[in-house]
Structure 1
């Protein structure tokens, strides 16, 4: 075949056409450069064009298929492809900076001439196996030469890193981790200035690594001293006992707590941990009635034997140091409460009892199981079933249809009083229970309902725990939403079941019935009673709150006597990544901490005033405690309140709360709050006034009814 020669670049398109290739399918300018032809003029042969195109196709196929195979065979090779398909090769050399091959320094260099020739032939032939062993040998020689040229630099770096590790001490791991992350993100280029560039760059990286290690050291010491870095292990007494956890799992009225208390009474020593002072009191009385050496401890009082074998306590006062045989933790589902859940966390992980019996509904099982696994302890689950059926009614029960033996449940003090007035006006006698009432008044009101003096009970979810409501037949929800301290939300299925379960007590009723006052609320009630699980929380970590020891340790670590500064630190810096714990709701605590920082007192005393149990939303109560705080700072004693026995209901409720706060502080500062007997008398008078008001307004007198009839007739 005759050789055809054409002038470029005009004839390059013709050559492609004769070869059966569309001119637009080829980058003719790149092809011209590959053929080595000048921009203007010059000649080309069809055969040369065809050969160049074949080589281009081979290189393209090699880049797509051969390069990955080659890099898998020789991992030190790196390839970059230009838009025109040209391959640029690098040899990646790893230089370990520590004896155990940690901290690789990554340096890229070009292949030597022989390796480059082999790579080019591989591409032209689209054959990644061609002279593969020879190529591998050349790459190894290139890497060896580069390491040799940088040997002094590597040795110098090793000495510097070892010195940094010695300085970091226990936090050398953090320092190494920082360097490793930094080096993995850097690739140095070989060249005449490579050694200087590496040393200068890593000087800054090493300096930052030392700072990170120091910061980690401070945070770790704070976490460990505060108890959150090794929270579970800080309960040394509990960890030594190889505890066994038993979960009495079941709904209300299933006998789970009764069985737990029975086991407690048979033990030589034990404790019952209650969510409420009222429950602590009832179980203290039950233990004492069994002839046991019983005692009771709450935040504001100690009753019973001086050295009891069995103690009923509010859960916040749990003794986490003295070993006992059996501990009963009631209402374990409170673990998920952002405000008080920390107390259940402390008890579950820290109560030093050989046998820990926790009581609660099935919704709490996953949390209890996670706690047992985290502590490395065994868990047995004993399932209890309800002793009487709990039935959702088909239709709502409006307030005007409420009957004797019913409880109407609302979720605010205002709503309780509004429903109460409506029912009283309809001729019902009413007992009233809500959170602002003292345990003594709640108990008295429950007794009035139980004894039949009051036909109907109007209540908040305060009936969900710790009250004997024997004749209660029906629970009627006036609402299925509540304010939780930060927002209004729907009741969870578990909450509905807990409240509804108070109906139909075994031994009093054959069944319990549940309804709502309107159709809209009936749906959630039916769903809950059908057994629908509560939606899992987005964050299932256990709530914890720093105790006094943690506060003092953190203050020493931070070098401050500011309680608010310490608490702010706890909220942001004391939980390691992946921790099963989270800070309890501390907004209210932080506000109280800022208030107590206004006086000069030891931080342990500031802490006591910051956690004093008052309603922080009540400005009058907050102002009273602020005056008490000032008196403590000045070394003055605080007399009992001068309360008005004729004040209205809200006034008497505040008086009871302040009297309880005074007695709570008297347990901690008896020299300042030294008028305890008088304050108990104040509280008793206020409780009596509250109970008297509730009794007097629980029914309409004959005269009142007559007046109402006259008014209705006139209308």
Structure 2
């Protein structure tokens, strides 16, 4: 009985965590938190980077690899030795005392003067919010500068109160005004320097095909690699294209000379359901218009009256504040200890138990990360992996919706089990440019497969040694994607039905749509 009681007490202690105690180096310092809060185009990130560049040592933590790369280049341009660390690459300057990295690669073991944590409103993100929580709580810097929008202000105050640390709030105002348009603008009348917003890759490419008859068009959407997004943004910035078609991938990370921003829809699919856009989403996207130094004002509108009415209402609505609790991901140590207490190495079960039973001091809750659990189920079906390997692999950048990436990942996992060296091999042959949207999609997925290989080469360099070969291949595939997006029209992924396919069951021809004047026209155009 005593042994059972001791086991229960140990489990109860394990399931209670004071998050700040996991970061002893940060707790040894008298940290100061500074929140640079303001809308898009207010100069808050620029001001934060100036503080970082003036420091003897420090780090910049980015929400995107694209932003880590851009600020790495900014520091280099200012002749500051700097290293770059993302999930896919390390560019180490032995002389550097500054690092730019993606937030998931934050280093909690190095004492620094200044750390800039960008876009802190991301702490509410279902899949990645834990990384911002860890960074805010655990970075061992004398000064921690947070940048973000006003809807994160109460959240940051809550975390600062829990930490017992000083918080200074510095408010920034937008440098030039945004104006809502009174009337919709049809596609035929859109002016240069306009960005059109939609919320799916297929809609972006359909609009590109349609607009390319009259305009030079750049595109931005989430499935494009950071390098291709940069090139598309450069084309728009340099005037090589006059129209930009984008998803909400535009909302973060790119400075673009957009004068007019038009929503083509007021709904999006959020992974669960199709729903109307919220004030936070509309305001974040709208803020990309009217870039300071390029245009005196930014104009926000839509391509239809229905969409314009909803966008106007959301634009003038208050931002919804981010509220606790904030998600915290399990540490490898917690996973190992739970495994021992539960008597199982089944990772999905351990993750589920963690999410349902772990309790934290302060405004935090155990994370239930859907993508991680989905990947862990794939891994757990394999025999021969240690629990540590399973947990590491469950965090790999895997899109299970892509057959190419899913099959590549499972092949890589089998190779890890067999301790077999994996050479990078391309899955596609590149010829000229993509002719169809499907060919372009295959190239985009190949870049993601390369990213997965590079992520594994970072974790397991002995088994995945072709780092340079994969980087070279990524450059070639990115160039192929860039060239393909310059083509005026890509054929749809599904070809149009042939004349034979267009017949009704029974062999009768489908009627063509009615034309002006009424009636239907037969084979030779005579009215019936």
Same fold (TM over 0.5): yes
In 1, distance between residues paired with 2:376 and 2:190?
Answer: 46
Residue 119 of structure 1 corresponds to none
Q: Which runs of 5+ in 1 are unaligned?
A: 1-163, 169-209, 701-713
Q: Offset of 1:438 from its aligned partner?
A: 0.5
Q: Offset of 1:614 from its aligned partner?
A: 2.1
Q: Deviations over 1:127-169 (max 9, x none)?
A: xxxxxxxxxxxxxxxxxxxxxxxxxxxxxxxxxxxxx9xx69x
Residue 448 of structure 2 corresponds to 657
In 1, distance between residues paired with 2:271 and 2:332?
Answer: 25
Equivalent residue in structure 2 for 1:367, among 151, 155, 164: 155
Contact kept? 2:220, 2:250, Cα under 8 Å? yes
In 1, distance between residues paired with 2:178 and 2:331?
Answer: 41
State the Cα RMSD in Å.
2.2
Residue 220 of structure 2 corresponds to 433
Aligned counterparts, 1:462-473, within 5 A: 462-469=249-256, 471-473=257-259
Q: Deviations over 1:323-378 (max 9, x none)?
A: 11111111111011111111111111111111111111111101111010011111
In 2, distance between residues paired with 1:219 and 1:697?
Answer: 62
Describe the shift of the 1:479–1:215 C-alpha distance in structure 2 as closer, same or farther (beyond 3 A).
farther
Residue 681 of structure 1 corresponds to 472
In 2, distance between residues paired with 1:413 and 1:585?
Answer: 28
Residue 279 of structure 2 corresponds to 493
Contact kept? 1:428, 1:456, Cα under 8 Å? yes
Residue 589 of structure 1 corresponds to 372
Q: Offset of 1:604 from its aligned partner?
A: 1.8
Q: Deviations over 1:41-97 (max 9, x none)?
A: xxxxxxxxxxxxxxxxxxxxxxxxxxxxxxxxxxxxxxxxxxxxxxxxxxxxxxxxx
Residue 388 of structure 2 corresponds to 604
Equivalent residue in structure 2 for 1:533, among 318, 325, 346: 318
Residue 284 of structure 1 corresponds to 72
Contact kept? 2:37, 2:148, Cα under 8 Å? yes
Residue 212 of structure 2 aligns to a residue in which SS? helix
* Greater share of helix: 1
Q: Offset of 1:536 from its aligned partner?
A: 4.6
1:552 aligns with 2:357: no
Which is higher, the Rg of structure 1 or of structure 2? Answer: 1
- TM-score normalised per structure 1: 0.65
Q: Deviations over 1:386-424 (max 9, x none)?
A: 001011111112222222100001111111111111211
In 2, distance between residues paired with 1:437 and 1:682?
Answer: 15
Residue 429 of structure 2 corresponds to 644
Contact kept? 1:409, 1:458, Cα under 8 Å? yes
Residue 694 of structure 1 corresponds to 485
Task: Name which of structure 1's ranges 660-669 and 547-556 shifts more when overlaid on structure 2.
Answer: 547-556
Equivalent residue in structure 2 for 1:522, among 287, 308, 321: 308
In 2, distance between residues paired with 1:698 and 1:466?
Answer: 27
Residue 37 of structure 2 corresponds to 249
In 2, distance between residues paired with 1:307 and 1:375?
Answer: 34
Q: Which runs of 5+ in 2 are unaligned?
A: 492-523
Q: Deviations over 1:440-475 (max 9, x none)?
A: 000000000011111100011111111121x21011
In 2, distance between residues paired with 1:555 and 1:331?
Answer: 35
1:220 aligns with 2:13: yes
Contact kept? 2:151, 2:320, Cα under 8 Å? no
Contact kept? 1:243, 1:356, Cα under 8 Å? yes
Q: Offset of 1:306 from its aligned partner?
A: 2.7
In 2, distance between residues paired with 1:603 and 1:364?
Answer: 36
Residue 614 of structure 1 aligns to a residue in which SS? coil
Aligned counterparts, 1:143-542, within 5 A: 215-221=8-14, 223=15, 229-306=17-94, 308-425=96-213, 427-469=214-256, 471-530=257-316, 532-536=317-321, 540-542=324-326
Residue 246 of structure 1 aligns to a residue in which SS? strand
In 2, distance between residues paired with 1:270 and 1:405?
Answer: 37
Residue 36 of structure 1 corresponds to none
1:621 aligns with 2:405: yes
Q: Offset of 1:505 from its aligned partner?
A: 0.8
Q: Deviations over 1:488-512 (max 9, x none)?
A: 2332212211111111111111011
In 2, distance between residues paired with 1:409 and 1:548?
Answer: 40
In 2, distance between residues paired with 1:313 and 1:555?
Answer: 32
In 1, distance between residues paired with 2:266 and 2:333?
Answer: 41
Q: Following superposition, which runs of at least 4 residues in structure 1 exceed 6 angstroms of deviation? A: none
Q: Deviations over 1:254-299 (max 9, x none)?
A: 0011000001111111111111111000100111122212011100
In 2, distance between residues paired with 1:284 and 1:429?
Answer: 30
In 2, distance between residues paired with 1:404 and 1:376?
Answer: 51
- TM-score normalised per structure 2: 0.88
In 1, distance between residues paired with 2:338 and 2:368?
Answer: 19
Residue 379 of structure 1 aligns to a residue in which SS? strand
In 2, distance between residues paired with 1:215 and 1:549?
Answer: 19
